[in-house]
Amino acid sequence: MSCSSIRQYGLPTQTLVQTHEFNGKETFSVVIFKKGVAEVVHFEKLRQHVGTQVLAYLKLRGGWDADGRGPCVWDTFTHQGGERVFENQTGDVACGSYTLWEEDLKCIKQLGLTHYRFSLSWSRLLPDGTTGFINQKGIDYYNKIIDDLLRNGVTPIVAIYHFDLPQALEDQGGWLSEGIVEAFDKYAQFCFRTFGDRVKQWLTINEPNILALLAYDMGIFAPGVPHFGTGGYQAAHNLIKAHARSWHSYDSLFRKEQKGFVSLSLFFCWLEPAEPNSVLDQEATKRAINFQLDLFAKPIFIDGDYPELVKSQIASMSEKQGYPSSRLPEFTEEEKKMIKGTADFFAVQYYTTRLVRHQENKKGELSFLQDVEIEFFPNPSWENVGWIYVVPWGIRKLLKYIKDTYNNPVIYITENGFPQCDPPSLDDTQRWEYFRQTFQELFKDKMIMMMTMMMAMMVMMMMLTALLRQFF
């Protein structure tokens, strides 16, 4: 099967094809392959919708040591072996997009995508993390991607940082070090200066809330050293300041000429009380939302500071554990002013939903999750593949929460999707149902109409182009 057959035979994942007239109304269509039949589902166009693919360095790019790229924390982490990564896999080759870009571009064109989101590799551009050593081959590589996309009518959306901190900076303390704030700002300025004449939509940091928790609190992600109850908060503190600094750099140095937009993307599973009538579960759910989403969103979108509930909860737990002060760092008044309002749109990544139950931290254990005093779990009746349970109504509730809490911002759904079961197949009814139900939820009660604009960017964790190469 060739790439030219994509629209005829459908895909193992959804794609939004070009807007057109259907039954007298402006619509867009989702082409989904179900039980051997390509089915086209039409939706009336409300405001703006785009078809987008998302690419992350570690999941797809590969070329880990090619053309002068320096090592990043994930290279070090995966090369150490052991039980850190499933079957000792690495990102050395991944899906090979570094050497197969021309094939990816063909698929992008055949899909009729209007936007393509990808992340830059910090250590490919600046091998030691600083502008003292600039890798021209890295610049050339990303220039080609951007220019190829624009030449084919595809808008690039660029994430400056996606978990892959240069190892040289991690050796200096990484996101636990105050120095990382300035280092990131200089890197972001370098990206704005180098690519901003063509890139108009920027994401500074991908899922900083996940990075802080899994990398620097629990130690599950690279660099792999846990700092239970302290590291996650320190990393979050520096991530927020780094984002804000880079937003101000764009605003003061580049926006007037480049006319672009800058935000960061936050991951969130929607949360519901395990027992809807339980006051304890209701309060636990509120805490969980405050800790997992609002801890980053409130400083940036509202007032420059953490949620009061988060501050009081951590302070109380810290006191019980014998700490002289809260384990959550404090922003100065100057920092609060610097952080407030540093996003041009709200970018959120939704995949699934969990139920929340209050669980008291009786032993006073140290960790982010113990501070929240919850346990969360899926409803066993929900259909799932791996950790993603099919809960389409969760995305609608999440968007409403963002709308009501953050003054009705422009919202981009920068990731959403459903994983492919092995072996991959075009006959993927589960994914068809996931996307069909998701779109239905988005259109309920004219939800889309409530937003100034929303971009539905449907992706799979293993990335679309990797899947395409197995069939075309």
User: From CA 133, how far away is CA 130, in angstroms rounded?
Assistant: 6
At 106, which amino acid appears? K
Give the strands of the sheet with 261-267, arranged side by side.
52-55, 115-119, 155-161, 201-206, 261-267, 346-349, 411-415, 454-456
Instruction: In whole angstroms, give the CA distance from residue 393 to residue 439.
Output: 10
b or e along 358-387 (b: 16 or more beta carbons within 10 Å of the residue's beta carbon)? beebeeeebbbbbbbbbebebeeeeebeee
The answer to whether the CB of 28 falls within 8 A of the CB of 41 is no
Catalytic annotation on 178?
Answer: no
Tally the residues of the chain.
472
Residue 450: Cβ-neighbour burial (10 angstroms; 0-12, 13-18, 19+): middle
Report which of 130, 165, 126, 125 is spatially closest to residue 143, judged by C-alpha positions: 125
Q: What is the dihedral of CA 42, 46, 51, 55, to 10 degrees?
A: -130
Q: Which of 170, 272, 415, 441 is catalytic?
A: 415
> Angle at which helices 429-443 and 393-405 pack, to 10 degrees?
30
Pick the catalytic residue: 170, 207, 272, 373? 207
What is the C-alpha to C-alpha distance for residues 102 and 200, in angstroms, rounded to an integer?
A: 23
H or E, element range at 128: none
If DSSP codes are grouped into helix, strand and coil, which group holds residue 35? coil
Catalytic, 207? Answer: yes
List phi, psi (to 5°) of 323.
-75, 140
Contact 115, 159 (CB under 8 A): no
Radius of gyration of the chain (CA): 22
In 3D space, the residue among 168, 342, 379 whose CA is nearest the CA of residue 247 turns out to be: 342
Identity of the residue numbered 174:
G
The helix/strand/coil state of 91 is coil
H helix runs in 112-174, sequence order: 122-125, 136-151, 167-170
Q: Where are the alpha helices (DSSP H) in 196-278?
A: 208-210, 231-253, 255-258
User: Cα 410–415–419 angle (5° rounding)?
Assistant: 155
* Structure-derived torsion over alpha carbons of residues 82, 79, 267, 282, reported in degrees to the nearest 10: 20
Element (H, E) at 56: none
Residues noted as catalytic: 207, 415
